[in-house]
Structure 1
Amino acid sequence: MKLSAIAIDNEKLEQGAWVGDIPELEGVRFKVRGLGNTDYRRLQNKLIQLIPRKNRRNGLSVEDQTRVESRCLLDTILLDWDGIEADDSTAKELKFLPYSRETAAGLLADPNMARLREGVLYAAAIVAESDEDDEKEVEGNFEPASPGT
């Protein structure tokens, strides 16, 4: 395997980019920074240290993990979204939910919105992947043009 196939786009990791084609969230896109960006790591370490030592000695509880992850997603990963339709929409007039930090905080903390959280995590996990591999994969799916066409 070539090193270039392993490399990530550090600018997308740190600054963010739009990611679509998210499993189970058709038509939704997230503008995200990558998991493990510098701010994410700093905040995650800080929040874990705030948990009493006795509660982290044998690993964090699911509740503490979720709380830390939600805060990190909100503060250092999710920048914007597109394609999330508000529940009060009608078939005639689509009303899309605009991104706001307050709305995102409520949705990311809501256990019923686990699919949304998973979508943001998925986008953050792949945002920094190299586009070169995608272009080569697409090119390989086409048959060569026949002469004279």
Structure 2
Amino acid sequence: MDIAGINDKVDLTEGQWVKDIPALPGVELLVRSANFKPYTRARDRALREAAPDTMTDDGLDVFWKITGGMMAEHLLLGWKGVKSGGKDAEFTADQAKALLTADDPHGIGEKFRKGTDYASSIVASRIAAKTETLAGN
């Protein structure tokens, strides 16, 4: 194992485009890695604070709403292929938060949460693979 790169920094602030998202056919998302520290810290803090609420039958919903809000704030940077009334929906931070925290009867919020989670995990995997290749391990 080559340890020469132990002090190398990996930039997780830049987003990457991910397409072919199972929950969101025809949509591409510009996302940061699921390992983006500001995201993981904010998500974990919010989940600790909400812990009593997650011990209910609706606990999974609470978990995903909290996580969705943190994804909107830290991970989702843009989109392509999202429509509203047949027209392209412009990406805004407010629209992203509305979608990622939605509890709607059509499951749109759930699809966006799962799609963003999937896409950010893909970015994390890409970065990990690149890091492994650069380290020669």
- Please say whether Structure 1 and Structure 2 have the same fold, judged by a TM-score greater than 0.5: yes
Larger Rg: 1
19-28 or 112-121: bigger deviation: 19-28
Residue matched to 1:27: 26
Runs of 4+ in 1 over 3 A off after TM superposition: 53-58
- 1:118 lines up with 2:123 in the alignment: no
| 1:30-49 correspondence to structure 2 within 5 Å | 30-49=29-48
Root mean square deviation of aligned Cα = 2.9
The match for 2:62 among 57, 61, 64 is 64
Q: Aligned residues, how many?
A: 117
Give the Å deviation of 1:67. Answer: 2.6
Percent of pairs with identical residues: 25
**2:126 match:** 130
- Are the aligned partners of 1:32 and 1:79 in contact in 2 as well (CA < 8 Å)? yes
- In 1, Cα distance between the equivalents of 2:119 and 2:15? 10
Which residue is equivalent to 2:6?
A: none
Which segments of 5 or more consecutive residues in structure 1 lack a partner in the other structure?
Answer: 4-9, 90-94, 134-149
Partner in structure 1 of residue 97 of structure 2? 105
Q: Deviations over 1:11-62 (max 9, x none)?
A: 3x442211112124332110101112101121012212323x655689x922
Unmatched 5+ stretches in structure 2: 3-9, 130-137
TM value normalised by structure 1: 0.65
Q: Label 1:54 to 1:96 Cα distance change in 2 as closer, same or farther (>3 A).
A: closer
